[in-house]
């Protein structure tokens, strides 16, 4: 089950065919992209199903049970249904904006996977600015949500879009600052270098950055618009928020992107704080997916426990609590690292 | 200081919330997978009205006395009858309009002959309203497998009825209460009337076959009400 050997085999195969230079690069990249697309699509379907199951069992229900084993094919059936639905564009919508919003939201969350290390050597591109790239790319989500809210020409959608913009920009700050602690310790922005710094379980950055991890999880929950920070799509107030006017496959793209974003932030948490793909016995990619799903489960658990925050509380929490704490964490990390170097280094 | 206390309290309560939901997680779901599984309805649940037949002869128990029709508050029951050669009433049609039936169960209480019952069946959706008007055949079909305890009296005294029925019935009305007392006196438990209401009735139910064998007419109906309810309770509990 060592995937890297499999990939090496295919690489040799391509080389034997006679591909060289640019052609080889293009072919390999297209193949990797296609593979990622497939894996992520399956993962998104699985996450939707899992979320429904977790929520159901927390509420003593069963959740989907009809399609497939314990409803495991339910999301697939829903996807097929959404494909068949009419694609409605509101009369007074800003058409190009309305059309491109779901495309951008999906592609931005897909692009983040360029630098996510799935296993030992399993990374589409190990950029030396990896984590910075991810932060930059995932912020595209704000733009697309604003586009969706604006393009729909609908009060609820606009309110949802505005809220999401305010929320994501606010929480982006503590999120980035909490990541900086890890970057300081690792001394690198590259994802693989960060993972390589946490070989054993006691080397995981979560032990050296507990506050940073906490801030990251909270800010990431807000970043992906999940309860208790799901104001952009607060059903009781905004019907569905920014995606209220979307139907059919466009809605499905928003929906899947939402779950993929959740997977993305969990994958980043795994990489930065939980040792990435490091782990004994099992192949590295299994460790990565397992840890990531554990973080996803925590996010789901949080979602089905807490009520939604009020708008002013949301902002207050970000600027008055998380931001100072993140700064404090940064200062403590710097001082602690320096002291460690002086005493033991 | 109070700020720290607030923060600690808040974090503690957040963790408490997580604990509550995590304890719920492994618990068994209470969901009933409806079309695949169904609750077992209690015997006395008020579902659809059915006509009961004699288990041996297969004939309907109904004597066409019209009591149920009169008792029905929404006039959902329509009975047509004719006098046979044996000078008894015979059913020609018995229709229950389930579109107006309110499932109150008054017809079942009114009936003295275990002729109709509210069965446990509660699913009878149809595509057209008119299909909800059930005729005699359909009602008999529905009541075929419905378990019931037949009344243990009526058959023999029916012939003697005409002569002693009227005076007996008249006597019963005022004497119903004292009769109970006299009969139940030997038993020490039933002697204290006010608290042993249920015991009283239960005793009554046992003795009823002897005490009022002539009860074909209205007065007995009043006595049968508690009788029927107490009759079934022990079975249901078992």
User: A131 to chain B, minimum CA–CA distance in Å?
Assistant: 30
Closest CA to B88 of B53, B108, B60: B60
Q: What is the b/e burial string over B172-205, where b = at least 16 CB atoms within 10 angstroms of the residue's CB?
A: beeebeebbeebbeeeeebeeeeebeebbbbbbb
pLDDT of residue B196: 43
B118 within some domain: yes
**Residue A294's pLDDT band (boundaries 50, 70, 90)?**
very high
Structural domain containing residue B121? 49-142
DSSP A25-77: HHHHHHHHHHHHHHHHHHHHHHHHHHHHHHHHHHTT-----SSSGGGTTHHHH
Higher pLDDT, A117 or B168: A117
Q: Do B48 and B121 meet the contact criterion of CB atoms below 8 Å apart? A: yes
Closest-CA residue of B relative to A55 is B25
A13 burial type by CB count under 10 A (0-12 exposed, 13-18 middle, 19+ buried): exposed
* Section A70-95 average pLDDT: 85
Closest CA to A79 of A254, A263, A264: A254
Residues of A with CB under 8 A from a CB of B: 54, 56-62, 65, 301-302, 304-306
Which of B7, B8, B25, B30 would you mutate first to test chain A, the one with the most A CBs within 10 A? B25
Which of A55, A58, A299 would you mutate first to test chain B, the one with the most B CBs within 10 A? A58
pLDDT of residue B163: 54
* Section A103-131 average pLDDT: 84
Q: Cβ contacts (< 8 Å) between B18 and chain A: which residues?
A: 301-302, 305
* Section A289-296 average pLDDT: 91
Q: Which residues between 17 and 46 in chain B have a beta carbon less than 8 angstroms from any beta carbon of chain A? A: 17-18, 20-22, 24-31, 33
- Interval A130-177: pLDDT, tens: 888 988 888 888 888 888 888 888 888 888 888 888 888 889 899 999
Q: Do A278 and A268 meet the contact criterion of CB atoms below 8 Å apart? A: no
Mean of the per-residue pLDDT values for chain B?
71
- Interval B141-187: pLDDT, tens: 888 878 777 766 555 555 555 555 455 444 444 544 444 444 444 44
Q: Cβ contacts (< 8 Å) between A60 and chain B: which residues?
A: 24, 27-31
pLDDT at A6 exceeding the cut of 60: yes
pLDDT of residue B191: 45
- Interval A297-306: pLDDT, tens: 999 998 888 8
- Interval B110-135: pLDDT, tens: 888 888 888 888 888 889 888 888 88
pLDDT of residue B162: 54
pLDDT of residue B223: 46
pLDDT at B189 exceeding the cut of 60: no
- Interval A47-74: pLDDT, tens: 999 998 888 888 888 888 888 888 888 8
Q: What is the total count of domains within chain B?
A: 1
* Section A256-275 average pLDDT: 88
Q: Cβ contacts (< 8 Å) between B26 and chain A: which residues?
A: 57
ipTM: 0.72
Find the CB nearest A60 among B20, B29, B33: B29
Identify the weakest region by mean pLDDT among A89-93, A227-231, B118-122, B198-202.
Answer: B198-202
Higher pLDDT, B178 or A267: A267
**Residue B233's pLDDT band (boundaries 50, 70, 90)?**
very low
B211 within some domain: no
B73 CB near a chain A CB, below 8 Å?
A: no
User: Is the C-alpha dihedral spanning A64, A66, A69, A71 positive or negative?
Assistant: negative
Q: Do A119 and A285 meet the contact criterion of CB atoms below 8 Å apart? A: yes
pTM for the complete prediction? 0.72
User: B41 to chain A, minimum CA–CA distance in Å?
Assistant: 22
pLDDT of residue B152: 62
Query: Which residues are bridge partners to B50 per DSSP?
Result: B117
pLDDT at B200 exceeding the cut of 50: no
pLDDT at A316 exceeding the cut of 60: yes
pLDDT of residue A295: 92
**Residue A206's pLDDT band (boundaries 50, 70, 90)?**
confident
B102 burial type by CB count under 10 A (0-12 exposed, 13-18 middle, 19+ buried): exposed
Measured CA to CA, the distance from residue B73 to residue A21 in angstroms comes to 90
Count of CB atoms situated within 10 Å of the CB of B53: 18
Q: Do A158 and A149 meet the contact criterion of CB atoms below 8 Å apart? A: yes
Contact B30 A305 (CB under 8 A): no
Which of B10, B13, B16, B29 would you mutate first to test chain A, the one with the most A CBs within 10 A? B29
Identify the weakest region by mean pLDDT among A336-345, B20-29, B193-202.
Answer: B193-202
Longest alpha-carbon distance in chain B: 99
pLDDT of residue A324: 92
pLDDT at A286 exceeding the cut of 70: yes
CATH number of the domain where residue B60 is located: 3.30.70.3270
């Amino acid at each position: 089950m060592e995937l890297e050997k499999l990939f090496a085999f295919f690489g040799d195969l391509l080389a034997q065919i006679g591909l060289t230079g640019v052609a080889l690069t293009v072919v390999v990249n297209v193949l990797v992209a296609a593979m990622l697309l497939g894996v992520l699509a399956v993962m998104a379907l699985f996450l939707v199903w899992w979320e429904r199951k977790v929520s159901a069992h927390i509420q003593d229900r069963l959740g989907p049970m009809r399609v497939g084993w314990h409803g495991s094919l339910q999301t697939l059936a829903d996807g097929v249904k959404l494909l068949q639905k009419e694609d409605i564009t509101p009369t007074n919508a800003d058409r190009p904006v309305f059309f491109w919003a779901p495309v951008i939201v999906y592609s931005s969350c897909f692009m983040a996977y360029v630098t996510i290390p799935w296993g030992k050597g399993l990374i589409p591109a190990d950029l030396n600015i990896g984590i910075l790239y991810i932060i930059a790319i995932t912020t595209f989500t704000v733009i697309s949500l604003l586009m969706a809210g604006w393009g729909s020409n609908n009060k609820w959608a606009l309110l949802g879009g505005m809220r999401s913009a305010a929320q994501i920009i606010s929480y982006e700050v503590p999120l980035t600052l909490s990541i900086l602690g890890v970057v300081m310790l690792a001394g690198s922005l590259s994802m693989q270098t960060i993972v390589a710094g946490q070989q054993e379980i006691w080397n995981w950055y979560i032990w050296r950055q507990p506050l940073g991890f906490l801030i990251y999880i909270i800010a990431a929950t807000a970043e992906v618009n999940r309860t208790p920070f799901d104001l952009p799509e607060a059903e009781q107030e905004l019907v569905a928020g920014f995606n209220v006017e979307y139907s059919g496959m466009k809605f499905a793209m928003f929906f899947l992107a939402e779950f993929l974003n959740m997977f993305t932030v969990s994958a980043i948490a795994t990489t930065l704080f939980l040792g990435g793909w490091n782990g004994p016995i099992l192949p590295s990619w299994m460790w990565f997916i397992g840890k990531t799903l554990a973080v996803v489960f925590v996010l789901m658990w949080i979602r089905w426990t807490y009520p939604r925050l009020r708008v002013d509380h949301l902002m207050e929490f970000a600027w008055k609590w998380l931001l100072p704490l993140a700064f404090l964490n940064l200062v403590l990390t710097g001082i602690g690292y320096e002291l460690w170097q002086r005493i033991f280094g | 200081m109070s700020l720290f206390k607030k923060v600690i309290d808040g974090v503690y309560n957040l963790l408490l919330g997580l604990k509550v939901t995590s304890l719920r997680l492994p618990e068994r779901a209470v969901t009933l997978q409806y079309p695949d599984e169904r609750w077992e309805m209690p015997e006395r649940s008020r579902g659809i009205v059915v006509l009961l037949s004699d288990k041996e002869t297969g004939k309907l128990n109904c004597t066409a006395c019209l009591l149920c029709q009169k008792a029905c508050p929404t006039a959902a029951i329509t009975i047509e009858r004719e006098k046979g050669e044996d000078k008894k009433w015979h059913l020609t049609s018995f229709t229950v309009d389930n579109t107006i039936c309110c499932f109150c169960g008054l017809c079942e209480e009114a009936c003295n002959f275990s002729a109709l019952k509210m069965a446990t069946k509660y699913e009878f959706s149809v595509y057209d309203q008119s299909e909800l008007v059930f005729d005699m055949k359909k009602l008999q079909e529905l009541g075929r497998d419905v378990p019931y305890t037949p009344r243990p009296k009526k058959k023999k005294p029916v012939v003697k009825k005409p002569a002693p029925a009227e005076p007996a019935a008249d006597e019963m009305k005022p004497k119903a209460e004292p009769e109970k007392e006299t009969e139940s006196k030997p038993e020490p438990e039933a002697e204290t009337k006010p608290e042993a209401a249920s015991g009283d009735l239960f005793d009554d139910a046992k003795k009823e076959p002897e005490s009022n064998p002539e009860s074909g007419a209205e007065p007995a109906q009043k006595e049968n009400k508690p009788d029927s309810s107490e009759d079934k309770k022990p079975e249901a509990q078992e």
